[in-house]
A and B are shown apart, each in its own frame.
Chain A
């Protein structure tokens, strides 16, 4: 009998009687990270990384949130559980589960490049590895973060010289914070959509140090942000909200921007392939490092990616889950 099972409600550990990232309310939910496709409201009790707790409180409301640090094993009904950095967003963790010598790792979402704010991804040896495959095609190859940051800075300064406001579209949790050190270097003031600002405040109130940003409210005068920087979630793109920044230029920060067609269909003036997920090579590198006997491939290009792994003599199977569909990672249809 296998230690973790793909249950209709999520990934389930029968021995420990807990779920990992369930998509319906359960008694005990272990949460890899605070993105909405992994952390859902209504469970009786949660266990997450310390950094994730305030985000869950903000997004899911009050409840019972137990916390843990990285690399500190705890036991649930005899099952050894530990959290390890996943490098995806602040607080994001891989969850390692061990019982009677059998080791499973649920990686949640992850990337192996150290972005400076999410904690460096830690490879963990295991027997069974559950991986995402959001960008599991070889067309997805990221440039180093520094290079993309330089491109973004150039673009922002070019807009500034034309007195255009730079509207950067980024997921409010994760990408928005990741961009701040890059944007701060331009010396221009940074404004934020309410969704971005609220996450920012939540993080600051729980002790994180982040560059300063200003909220955009009804009172904010267009003179203030003209030629400067605005960070907004993708939902702002098609809304009337964005129009008050005219003249502006839109730059989308997402791995999907690697492909021209996506960028065009989103009506962006610029696209920056900056992702909080692994690229193709990153996925392969991470999987190889686990030395897992069996790999389970979830959200993304699971059928392609698992077929490829099998051809490379890595036993893999695809698993259909409800993950994926983070706001910034789905190109919206009209």
Chain B
């Protein structure tokens, strides 16, 4: 029995869920958020808990009513001109919230429905005509206050990233169930349907194992902080610039998972042959890389390919993908993550060799005698299509999440950081009409802290895209500066880092520039202020 028996309050409904969402969305302290979540777990109905977990781990309900309809019905109800609605939307920056704020005050009985009830009825109404949908929405709006309407609208429009990261959710569940966060992270990953899965089923070990699609939580490395002793206890391999992923074959089913916890099997038909050939009970960890004849192509090409809804033959020919495998997590149905790396790689190597499939190659080991020698090799990373080296302890187990000690990344340019754009300003001269000057932020707990400005190192086409985003998503104006929705993630490169009392972040960067647009990352994936502080310690 994993979940504590809960007292199920009949009255624990949408109101409480809205209250929780509001708390999560406004509180600045991670601990307060975890407490709020743990309270909710203790009080809410089981079905609501499943949905809560699902919503905050990116499993949004299917969209049944379009955002355009919501907008139209709100305009009809308020009788505001459309341009005025647009002005409001522009100021608020969030459609669900704009509508919630514009609607007239509620009338009559307030809602008694629970979160799960509402999601179930949303699903039912999806098959009905627009008029029925409209009645459904209007009735619900009428029975809700502003905060409830906001959450209700969010459930419909999707994009439920409010206030907490997946990590916070995992920690709250861990606190509530008294289980290890790593175990929770694994159990809530993969494919499951919140409308049919109880929290008990999700988190209980025995029942849990029946989900065959589930990837392992990825082991992530930190940037190296100094060369370890005994180089002979270590191995090195190239650090590839692709999409970190796991290939899973269980029960004759094949799955491709990305680190962003997305099931991407359909996106890579190149791996179909592996679906046949990989033995059951196998999980590989590696990098999904666009490459021809084992030579990696630009990562941007892969991003474009992934962005497309339908893959064309041309794309498959021009940007074929290969899986550069570097670890074996499950073998013959056994979780072998605690087996030493050297052994895991030995099995992996012979497996890949025996399969002899062009879409699957072993990520090559880079031999070396000393760190000095390896450093020389590292200089040639770019020539090999890599962005540096990975250093791994031969005896290491496969751990969960970002851990220090056994795996390190040793990038060529160590001074890069992933950050989110939060302010934009127009450029000068030729670009005076475009937003080209941006201010970036890193995360500190659940806040965003600005740390640098950077001018565009983007292509004209990318600048145009960012410009369009800024115009559509600016939240406030301060003179020439626009505050934009924190959504676009960029890799910022810089030459040096120094302490600065003048900046809120406490650091100042030398020659910061945008290295590239990380369309594959969300604001949850950006670096933290702590990462910056570490760089300061190391390079400052």
Contact = CB atoms under 8 A, between A and B. Distances in A.
Query: Which of A250, A260, A301: most chain B Cβ within 10 A?
Result: A260
Interface stretch (B20-28, B245-253, B371-379, B387-395): B20-28
A268 B26 contact: yes
B423 A333 contact: yes
Nearest to B147: A260
Given A304-B87, A311-B81, A139 B26 contact: no
Nearest to B504: A334
Interface in A78-107: none
Interface string A234-265: 00001000000000001000000011111111
A54 interface: no
B28 A267 contact: yes
Contacts of A137: 84, 87-88, 91
Report, as a range, how many residues of chain B touch the other chain. 20 to 34
Contacts of A140: 101
A308 B79 CA distance: 12
Contacts of A269: 26-29, 32
A266 B166 CA distance: 23
A187 interface: no
A79 B123 CA distance: 69
A166 to B, nearest CB: 14
A270 B84 contact: no
Given A138-B102, A334-B450, A260 B84 contact: no
Contacts of A265: 475, 483
B92 A261 contact: yes
A60 interface: no
Contacts of A262: 476
A271 interface: yes
Interface in A190-243: 238
A267 B92 contact: no
A304 B88 CA distance: 10
Interface string B85-128: 00110011110011001100000000000000000000000000
B78 interface: yes
A64 B484 CA distance: 47
A271 B150 CA distance: 16
Given A139-B88, A139-B91, A311-B81, A261 B475 contact: yes
B93 A261 contact: yes
A269 B87 CA distance: 27
A138 to B, nearest CB: 6
A308 B97 contact: no
Contacts of A139: 88, 91-92, 98, 101-102
Interface in B447-495: 447, 450, 475-476, 478, 481, 483
Interface string B18-46: 00000001111100100000000000000
B80 interface: yes
A285 to B, nearest CB: 16
A114 to B, nearest CB: 20
Contacts of B504: 238, 334
Nearest to B91: A137
Nearest to A263: B26
B181 to A, nearest CB: 25
Given A269-B26, A270-B26, A260 B94 contact: yes
B39 to A, nearest CB: 13
Interface in B67-82: 78, 80-81
A259 B84 contact: no
A141 interface: yes
Given A263-B26, A270-B26, A333 B102 contact: no
Interface string A111-144: 0000000000000000000000000011111000
A331 interface: yes
B101 A259 contact: yes
Contacts of A307: 83
Nearest to A267: B28
A265 B97 CA distance: 16
A138 B27 CA distance: 26
Nearest to A331: B476
A333 B481 contact: yes
Contacts of B101: 139-141, 258-259
Contacts of B447: 267
Given A267-B447, A269-B29, A333-B423, A308 B475 contact: no
Query: Which of A263, A304, A307: most chain B Cβ within 10 A?
Result: A304
Given A139-B92, A259-B101, A308 B28 contact: no
A264 B98 CA distance: 16
Given A138-B102, A267-B447, A308-B84, A259 B26 contact: no
A300 B475 CA distance: 15
A97 B537 CA distance: 65
Given A138-B80, A139-B102, A334-B504, A260 B88 contact: no
A260 B83 CA distance: 22
A264 B449 CA distance: 12
Contacts of B97: 259-260
Contacts of B27: 269
A311 B87 CA distance: 15
A262 B93 CA distance: 11
Contacts of B150: 260
Contacts of A301: 87
Contacts of B32: 269
Given A138-B78, A264-B26, A259 B91 contact: yes
Contacts of B88: 137-139
Contacts of B476: 261-262, 331
A100 B286 CA distance: 86
Query: Which of A138, A141, A250, A270: most chain B Cβ within 10 A?
Result: A138
A61 to B, nearest CB: 30
Interface in B2-28: 25-28
A260 B96 CA distance: 11
Nearest to A270: B26
Contacts of B84: 137-138, 304, 308
A154 to B, nearest CB: 12
Contacts of B478: 330, 333
A259 B25 contact: no
A260 B25 contact: yes
Nearest to B87: A304
Nearest to A311: B81
A270 to B, nearest CB: 7
A165 to B, nearest CB: 14
A258 B150 CA distance: 12
Contacts of A331: 476
Contact of B92 (A259, A264, A311): A259
A235 to B, nearest CB: 15
Nearest to B99: A139
Query: Which of B81, B88, B450: most chain A Cβ within 10 A?
Result: B88
Closest 8 CB pairs of A and B: A139-B101, A334-B450, A139-B88, A304-B87, A267-B28, A333-B478, A261-B475, A263-B26
22 contacts: A137-B91, A138-B78, A138-B80, A138-B84, A138-B88, A138-B102, A139-B98, A141-B101, A259-B92, A259-B97, A259-B101, A260-B26, A260-B97, A261-B92, A261-B476, A265-B483, A301-B87, A308-B84, A333-B423, A333-B481, A334-B439, A334-B450
Given A139-B98, A263-B26, 13 more contacts: A137-B91, A138-B84, A138-B102, A139-B102, A141-B101, A250-B28, A261-B93, A269-B27, A270-B26, A308-B84, A331-B476, A333-B423, A334-B439
